[in-house]
Amino acid sequence: MKICFYALREFDELHFCREMKEKYKIDFVYSTEYPNEKNISLAAGCDGVSCTPCDMSAKVLKSFHDVGVKYILTRSIGYDHIDLKAARELGMKVDNVTYTPTGVADYAIMLMLASVRRLAHILKRAELQDYSLKNKLGRDFSVCTVGIMGTGKIGRTVLKHLSGFGCRLLAYDIYENDEAKKYARYVSLDEILRESDIISLHMNANEENYHIIDMAAISKMKDGAYIINTARGKLIDSEALIHGIEIGKLGGAALDVLEFENGLYYYNLMGEVMVNPKLALLRSFPNVILTPHTAFYTAEDVCEMVEGNFKSCFEFGTGKKINGFENQTA
């Protein structure tokens, strides 16, 4: 068996690929580039293709199918970048990965703390030797009400870890979870928007929750509330977010993911013109923290993401796994 890895990072993922090759007895080839017309032929003779969030539209899937690829494996929890309908029609099996939730969960909490204490703004001014206090006033995190939207593995871990801070914790999910109930009270969407000082998103992106944070949702939120997103950029309407910050409705935001981030994040664009005007505008706000989709980025998680693709390919090939997405919750 053989896997073709795309957008493989030689400085971290390659080491784990070599380890998993020996463990699962599955060979691999790779490209450091995303799939494109020039490098799809690299997958010829491979059983599976491994990707990160990128263009995996029907056209791209058909090209892989034509060179004999049977499995599409994404090194991410989210899989909204893959045209699942087209994959089914082509008879291709698709699978995502799961990994230890503590890395993303703790990163989200770090962003919460940094937001309410205005840490990014303080550090920027300190670099210029501005040590004055004006416009640096923060909030006591322990007296905040934190609303967690999405109580899958990561959301539940956030709740568990937040329980030691003394915050009042609320949760929203269409599927309630007994473990989450140990730490938080489930409420309606309207109530979590209305009651929370901080909203943290931990949901998969799908048609039902596309732009779940839009103008209407922001209008229901507390004045001065903060939005944290370490899940998927499509959950937030960027124009509504920008408007909410501009008029002072929101206290700020911390975003590890952003709409239309493909082609930007994970590239070195230093010195180049920014082609995403929303990203450029958000960067200009002193109460917005932007990190380039790095909440997952720990050695432990990278290892699990790579191994997850080798394991899926092995289980598909040996018949141990018939369908993908056994663990779809974030």
What residues are labeled active site? 232, 261, 293
Run of H or E residues at 171? strand 168-172
The DSSP bridge partners found for residue 252 are 226
Distant-in-sequence, close-in-space partners of 247: CB < 8 Å, separation ≥ 6: none
Long-range interactions of 129-137: CB distance < 8 A, separation 24+: 135/286
Cβ–Cβ contacts within 10 Å for residue 248, how many?
A: 10
Residue 309 tokens read as 């693709």
Q: For tokens 């979590």, name the residue.
A: 192
Residue 79 tokens read as 């899989």
Are 118 and 136 in contact by the 8 Å Cβ rule? The answer is yes
Are 190 and 219 in contact by the 8 Å Cβ rule? The answer is no
